[in-house]
Amino acid sequence: MASDTQGAENAGGGLEFHPMDQFIIQPLFGGDVVHWYTPTNVTLWMALSILAIFALLVLGTSRRAIVPSRSQSIGELAYGFVYKMVEDVAGKDGLKYFPYIMTLFMFIVTANFLGLIPTAFTTTSHFAVTGVMALMVFFFVTILGFVKNGSAFLGLFWVSSAPLALRPILAIIELISYFVRPVSHSIRLGGNMMAGHAVIKVFAGFAGLAVISPLSVVAITAMYGLEVLVCFIQAYVFTILTCVYLKDALHPSH
């Protein structure tokens, strides 16, 4: 307790930046050790994501109205958005995997937006979360590609439209880019979420100086607006890349 008051005095005294503190994972019910099963703030905010999705897509559509209410409209909009994306990018045969992609999209988009609530914890700002999702997509798509096409899936790396002499070089480049996919896929989402929240925290830190504080408030507002966009766009990008990878697995020829 003594150190707590001391910390508060320090914060009042001068500029203190802890932009990364918001990402620290703490057990919900006290204790210091984070076991794999410990309920933490990760658990809490993921559960809130589930609740939000349940409220939107299950409670919101519970009336099954022909003329939709507002919440049902949003649910149908989300459904149509992802459905059309899968159909357009991955093709008709990709629609079989629509529920998986919808799961990813709904989780990312709700986690992103819940993270925008002040003092909230953003689960998608952690590479462990985005990395696992990207790896799931990577392995799913790779295995699916081999199951569906057999060794013809390797044609993905053999650019038959290029001159013969270039093909081995292109094959190496394609192979590298293929294995870099999960890295870029996960860091793009996690990095965006983390950076945005950290920048807001830094601006908030500047508010400790009375002279700068109005500017700080304006900057936070502007960043928040940008973050609202980023939250949706990054969920969209993650989902559409998943669709592109799925298309590669279903139709590996260039």
Partner 1 sequence: MATETQDVAGQASEAASAPGMPQLDFSTFGNQIFWLLVTLVVIYFILSRIALPRIANVLAERQGTITNDIAAADELKAKAAEAEQAYEKALADARAEAQRIVAEAKAEIQADLDEATRHADAEIAAKAAESEKAIEEIRASALENVRTVAKDTAQEIVAVFGTKKADAKTIEAAVETRMKG
Which residues of the chain form contacts with partner 1 (CB under 8 A)? 2-3, 6-7, 20, 23-25, 34-38, 40, 42-43, 46-47, 49-50, 53-54, 57-58, 61, 64-66, 68, 72, 75-76, 79-80, 98-100, 102-104, 106-107, 123, 125-129, 132-133, 190, 194
Q: Write down the least CB distance from residue 2 to partner 1, Å.
A: 6
Q: Write down the least CB distance from residue 35 to partner 1, Å.
A: 7
Q: Write down the least CB distance from residue 10 to partner 1, Å.
A: 8
Q: Write down the least CB distance from residue 54 to partner 1, Å.
A: 6
Name every residue whose Cβ is closer than 8 Å to that of residue 204 and which is 6 or more positions away in sequence: 216, 220
Q: Write down the least CB distance from residue 38 to partner 1, Å.
A: 6
Q: State how far the Cα of 226 lies from the Cα of 192, in Å rounded to an integer.
A: 11
Residue (of 162, 168, 151, 155) closest to 248 by Cα position: 155
Which residue number, 15 or 50, has a Cβ lying nearer to partner 1? 50
Which residue number, 72 or 216, has a Cβ lying nearer to partner 1? 72
Which residue number, 57 or 223, has a Cβ lying nearer to partner 1? 57
Q: Write down the least CB distance from residue 106 to partner 1, Å.
A: 6
Which residue number, 52 or 237, has a Cβ lying nearer to partner 1? 52
Which residue number, 34 or 218, has a Cβ lying nearer to partner 1? 34
Q: State how far the Cα of 49 lies from the Cα of 240, in Å rounded to an integer.
A: 21
Which residue number, 57 or 235, has a Cβ lying nearer to partner 1? 57
Residues 173/158, Cβ–Cβ less than 8 Å = no
What are the structure tokens assigned to 113, written together? 């937006």
